Amino acid sequence: MSATGIGAPVRRKEDFRFITGKGQYTDDINRPGQTHAAFLRSPHAHATIKKLDISEAQKADGVIAVLTGEDLAKDNVGGLICGWMIHSKDGSPMKAGSHPALAQGKVRYVGDHIAVVIAETLAQARDAVEKIHVDYELLKPVIDMAHATDSGSPVIHDVAPHNQVYDWHLGDKGATEAAFANAKHVTKLDIVNNRLIPNAMEPRAAIGDYDSGQDAFTLYTTSQNPHVARLVLSAFIGIAPEHKLRVIAPDVGGGFGSKIFIYAEETVCVWAAKKVGRPVKWTGDRTEAFLADAHGRDHITHAEMAMDDKGHILGLRVKTKANLGAYLSTFSSCVPTYLYAPLLSGQYNIPAIYVEVEGIYTNTAPVDAYRGAGRPEATFVIERMVEVAAREMGQDPAAFRRKNFIKSFPHQTPVIMAYDTGNYGASMDLALEMADYKNFGKRKRDSAKKGMLRGIGFSAYIEACGIAPSAAVGSLGAGVGLWESAEVRVNPVGTVEVLTGSHSHGQGHETTFAQLVSDRLGIGIDQVAIVHGDTDKVQFGMGTYGSRSGAVGMSAISKALDKVVAKAKKVAAYALEASEGDIEFKDGRFSVAGTDRSLAFGEVALQAYIAHKFSGQDLEPGLKEGAFYDPTNFTFPSGVHICELEIDPDTGVTRIDRWTAVDDFGNIINPMIVEGQVHGGIAQGVGQALLEGAHYDANGQLVTASYMDYCMPRADDLPNFDIGITTTPCTTNPLGIKGCGEAGAIAAPPAVINAITDALGHEQIAMPASPQAVWRAAQKSLHKLAAE
Amino acid sequence: MYAFAYQRPTTVRQVQSALGKHEDAKILAGGQTLLPTMKQRLASPSAVIDLGHVAGLSGIEKKGRNIVIGAMARHAEVATSEVVREAIPALAALAGGIGDPAVRNRGTIGGSVANNDPSADYPAALLALGATIVTNKRKIAADDFFQGMFTTALEEGEIITKVSFPVPAKAAYVKFPNPASRYAMVGVFVSKKGSDVKVAVTGASNEGVFRAAGLEAALKGKFNPKAVEGVAVDGSNFIADIHGSADYRANLVSVMTKRAVTKALGK
Amino acid sequence: MISVSMTVNGKAVSAKIDPRTLLVQFLRENLLLTGTHVGCDTSQCGACVVHVDGKAIKSCTTLAATCDGASVVTIEGLAHDGVLHPMQEAFRENHGLQCGFCTPGMIMSAIDIVNRKGHDLDEHTIREELEGNICRCTGYHNIVKSVAAGAHAMAGSK
């Protein structure tokens, strides 16, 4: 391993600009002559707009334009789309209601966009928004997803008369029923996966710019996938053809899924830039982020698991209602279906699984992918089920899991996925040792002496990452392929630029991707620049989400590097006057086998460009190669997390005492960065379990619309984390990488809740397990103890 | 934020006259509550009168048996003041737990007391220590000053110049922070001086800060945590929200009181 | 419009501003010092922390007008002659940042913690003192490490 190659904990190249305040986030960019946009948002969850009077706002100080849904319609600007078609059990397509960027006659959630004011200053734009007068006819809102499809419920979209988007299923119903018929024990659980608000620290922002000389648009936006934004804005919304629309996603301050989607605000900014003839800038504030960023999770599930008398799992059946909010966001439809149900086999050998999922409209913000996207929901179901099953059957939860682990690979589950490799027992062994499981009983007794309830909880998770084989997702309804592209440009002096379709917004690609290049070409990472986030520079790409940048994005770079090396060998052969087959490339030098003749990588690059040695031969000058990589399978990171915590029954305060995470991510490029990803994921998972929950009141007002009420994990809510690694390299991509970005968020929630229920001695606790909720649950435990 | 006129007086008299001139003027002390409110367009003062340059509002000193704190004393100053830490360590600790370090560098005792936010910490200390609020017009006993959520005895044109705290024999403040905002969901300040025991509770009630008579009576009998057990806390008018129902807050009042007494006893 | 003058990162600046201009707006929009960020509306996230007269404050909850005559230091003012401040170096060395958005506020708060609490900071103290700074990426583990390491390094660089 070289100092900057694969496997080295290289310090991040991008950090210098961030620690010196020189990052360039969208709001840090100012365009000459720019104007400022502010949106009028619906204060009501469900209403028709009887009259929209913008005349007073138009006359307000500094106002340049006030634009509404009517203007969008006049300009034939299309609505926002959902790019994944789901078909119901009966074969009918999902019922996608129209989603105009500015409301056309109806508003469907608090925060829905009605009009935009464009003014000289932001303060003026905001002042003028208050001068728009709207005459609403209020409609009864649909907030509670459990009853949204009841007959007589108000209708949110005419295309979906019962507020049902789809009624979908996966698996073998007959085989699953047969498994339950043979069961000796059945575990049943009602499970709620709480609604979350992503809260990347950088609020979304956009600047639309129009160059009339070129008749071309530029959009600066907080995006995880600028090419997908351009594709949607061009092909579906109709802003401009792709060659006339440049999308730049500069430094982006976190995404976690919420910046994948194409939103109303950036659509309006880029469209309005041409209308007003000046750049239009919008920067969301945190309140707007709470109201109108796509939320995550929000499932209600009933699950049943069948076991034989020894505790072998025979079958699983799951029925889930998934809240999709008021409109279908960009990828929302696939999250509770294909990103959820295929993960319900977990790490276990389960012969039969049947899953039913109902997608439901409510008058709440759209719900889409949030870190983990479907996989945390699945993991929460399966890991709560196995924990409760073990307890009910009087078995140790670790032993129960181990008994049911898949032990031979490849393994085909009954729900689509074919796991290529893994060693779940190895992760369990290491986790138990690191967590000092054998002495847990003593620690529990020590806590009891202090009047505290101590519990331990497991989560043996699996995720499907490296999203995704194009043919596979296409057959399941995806509107796009999910390959990745890369271009490696070697400069004549031997420095390298890598253009990638992946986008870094905290993941450290500028470092890890450079490490791959350093490793392959034998040059220092300071000789490598990673270029991303600009559709004019990078030809195409599918962006960063689903822990795909390592497994898919770097595989594309790897392929391009293979081509660079192959061509460089040809150049070296001419330069060294040897036959190509005799050229060896090692540690950055091309040499002729069995001789001392060699050239450094940079020298060969120069030869490639001056082309003196092979002019007129069948070899083109230059050294630049591109590659598209389409994965052949998902990757399957897995691991075991163990949470140990202590509850103060007097207040319900839960303190995590120790956290053990053992993960198998396949091969690792930079362990420092991987650990950082795990830390952050766990924090979000602990947030879901203990702290975070979006709450709408019965009128559809978002009660948790600021950090005053939405409980973000802070430094003193969390412990340090003990991280362990086991490795089974992925067998289906050239680097053996599985991906690490979402693992913590997937693993953590069931580990926490399993620990709390262990401490409480009963299963009645919902997420977030807030102090109040735990206190109430602890009173039940105390009563139970007193009665015994 | 809505537009406003900015005033920077240098004397209390000028503050008073500015308040007279501008209808809906707001006084800006530390601004840690006022500015977020204005940013969210929930307040639209015609003028903002900055106390930052007004003479005579700062300083912390021991005067006889009292600690006198200028209205513009920042929370961080009170928290680290040797005078306060020596005489009323519970008050210094309370100040050191308000908001976060950056908020404590701006927020002031005068601003907190004048605002009387139901989740603010200082009002509990003033009530439980029997403090006196000194204004440009008069002196007001804490018991008469706090008149319910966001309501005080301050009249128009009246501004707080200092707060005077009698030094207790024993005192402690324990709060249960709201998990999201970190404001006090329940904060209990207990003090003991001779046979007098005071217990003030913030964060819990729809009426704002209050003195808990039942707890005081029990603790006058015996100043120890056991005395709190068996005292029913009436939560009928307590705040109920997503973070805590009234009965949960009532429980927290008991638990925080016990812990405050334990702390006051130095255990 | 009102006039304000202050020293920012050692340079005297003055401008005519709308009284409602927040310090963070003044820094970002008037002075183009965009390293100071805005992450919330309720004074809780701490992305906007700068030092005013040597103390950490939230520049989103401070009027620029009230800083007339003050000395302000932002993240851009920490490194001198290309040499990073030890706390900046500690964040880089300990992977104390991912997306970088909260980082300027974290570093400014971290230096303030050291100024108040000294150079030998335990984990518990650091976590408590970071109450006013929210990070969504790191889970705080490496931020805590960074602050502790930066605190030690600051002792050495005095």
* Chain B residues close to A776, C-beta within 8 Å: 248
Q: Burial letters for C6-40: b for 16+ Cβ neighbours within 10 Å, e otherwise? A: bbbbeeebeeebbbbbbbbbbbbbbbebbbbbbbb
Q: Of all helices (H) and strands (E), which one includes residue A661?
A: strand A653-664
Helix then strand count (H, E) for chain C reads 5, 5
Helix, strand or coil, per DSSP, at residue A760: helix
Residues A332-350, mean pLDDT to the nearest whole number: 97
**A271: confidence class by pLDDT, cuts 50, 70, 90:** very high
Give bridge partners of residue A653 from the DSSP assignment: A648
ipTM for the whole complex: 0.98
According to the model, what pLDDT value does residue A277 have?
97
8 Å CB contact between A178 and A236: no
Structure token pair of residue C84? 């990073």
Q: What gap in Å lies between CA A524 and CA A514, rounded to an integer? A: 8
A141-150, A542-551, A626-635, A651-660: range with lowest mean pLDDT: A542-551
Closest CA to A207 of A23, A34, A24, A22: A34
DSSP classification of residue C56: E
State both tokens at B26: 């707001």
> Closest chain C residue to A29 measured between Cα atoms?
C34
SS3 (DSSP) at A473: helix
Domains of chain B: 5-53 (3.30.43.10), 60-166 (3.30.465.10), 170-264 (3.30.390.50)
Rounded CA gap, B193 and B216, in Å? 12
Q: What is the Cα gyration radius of chain C?
A: 15
Q: Which residues have CB under 8 Å from B57's CB, separation 6+?
A: B12, B51, B70, B71, B72, B110, B161, B162
> What pLDDT sits at residue A787?
65
**A297 strand-pairing partners:** A195
With 70 as the cut, is the pLDDT of residue A785 above it?
no
CA distance B111 to A81: 50
Partners of residue A20 in chain C, C-beta under 8 Å: 35, 75-76, 78-79, 84, 88
Domains for chain A: give ranges and CATH numbers.
31-139+204-292 (3.90.1170.50), 143-195+295-409 (3.30.365.10), 420-465+633-788 (3.30.365.10), 483-629 (3.30.365.10)
User: Residue A786: what pLDDT?
Assistant: 67
| Paired residues of A305 in beta bridges | A187, A316
Please name the member of B40, B50, B105 whose beta carbon is closest to the beta carbon of C57.
Answer: B105
For position A559, what pLDDT does the model report? 96
**What residue spans of B146-230 are helical by DSSP H?**
213-221
Per the DSSP assignment, residues forming a β-bridge with A354 are A171, A317
Residues 6 or more apart whose Cβ sits within 8 Å of residue A480: A83, A228, A231, A473, A542
Q: CB-based contacts of A439: which residues, under 8 Å, 6+ apart?
A: none
Q: How near does any CA of chain A get to the CA of B43, in Å?
A: 14
Write down the CATH number for the domain with range C86-156.
1.10.150.120
Q: Which pLDDT band holds residue A788 (cuts at 50, 70, 90)?
A: low
Sheet of A721-726: strand order equals A453-462, A638-648, A653-664, A721-726
How far apart CA A720 and CA A644 sit, in angstroms, is 12
pLDDT band at A1 (very low <50, low <70, confident <90, very high): low
The whole-angstrom separation of Cα A138 and Cα A398 is: 53
Does position A454 have pLDDT exceeding 90, yes or no? yes
Q: Quick count: other Cβ atoms within 10 Å of Cβ B147?
A: 13
Cα distances (angstroms) measured from residue B141 to each of A254, A760, B168: 51, 47, 16
Q: Which chains touch C (3 or more CB pairs under 8 A)?
A: A, B
Neighbours of C84 (CB within 10 A): 16
Chain B residues with CB-CB distance to C under 8 A? 1-6, 8, 28, 31-32, 35-36, 38-40, 48, 50, 52, 76, 80, 99-103, 105-106, 181-182
Q: What is the pLDDT of residues B24-33, one digit of tens each?
A: 999 999 999 9
pLDDT level of residue A616 (50, 70, 90 thresholds): confident
Tokens of C68: 């007339």
Preceding amide of A768 cis, omega within 30: yes
Cis peptide before B118 (omega within 30 of 0): no
The H-assigned helical ranges of A492-611 are 509-521, 555-575, 601-610
- φ, ψ of residue A97 in degrees (nearest 5): -75, 155
Q: Of A695, A708, A772, which has the smallest distance from its Cβ to B245's Cβ?
A: A772
Tell me which chain A residues have a C-beta less than 8 angstroms from the C-beta of C107: 19
Closest chain B residue to A651 measured between Cα atoms?
B252
Mean pLDDT of all residues belonging to chain A = 96
**Which residue among B1, B179, B252 places its CB closest to the CB of A770?**
B179
Instruction: Report how far residue A274's alpha carbon sits from residue A238's, in angstroms, rounded to the nearest whole number.
Output: 13
In chain C, residues with a C-beta closer than 8 Å to the C-beta of B102 are 46, 49, 56-58, 109, 112, 132
Region B59-71 average pLDDT: 97
Tokens 């940013």 belong to: B39
Nearest CA in chain C to B80: C116
Residue pLDDT, tens place only, A4-15: 899 999 999 999
pLDDT-based confidence at C156, cuts 50/70/90? Answer: confident
At A478, the pLDDT band (50, 70, 90 cuts) reads confident
Model confidence at A546: pLDDT above 90: no
Which of B2, B176, B180 faces A710 most closely, judged by CB atoms? B180
> Distance of alpha carbon B15 from its chain centroid, rounded?
23
CB A504 within 8 A of CB A544: yes
CA distance A67 to A73: 11
User: Dihedral through CA A435, CA A436, CA A438, CA A441, nearest 10?
Assistant: -80
Pairing of strands A296-307, A216-221: unpaired
CB atoms within 10 A of CB B38: 22
Beta partners for residue A38, in sequence order: A117
Q: Where are the domains of chain C?
A: 2-77, 86-156
Residue from C3, C18, C42, C66 whose CB has the most chain B CBs within 10 Å, to mutate: C66
Residues within 8 A of B (CB atoms), C 16-75 only: 18-20, 22, 41-44, 46, 49, 52, 55-58, 60-63, 65-66, 68
pLDDT tens by residue, B112-159? 999 999 999 999 999 999 999 999 999 999 999 999 999 999 999 899
Please tell me the distance from the alpha carbon of residue A512 to that of residue B152, in angstroms, as a whole number. Answer: 59
Q: Is the pLDDT of residue A782 over 80?
A: no
**Mean pLDDT value across chain B:** 96
Q: Is the pLDDT of residue B51 over 70?
A: yes
C20 interaction partners in chain A (CB closer than 8 Å):
123
CB contact under 8 A, B244 and A772: yes
CB atoms within 10 A of CB B221: 10
Q: Which fold has domain C2-77?
A: Ubiquitin-like (UB roll) (3.10.20)
- Cα C94 vs. chain centroid, distance in angstroms? 18
Residues of C in contact with B72 (CB under 8 A): none
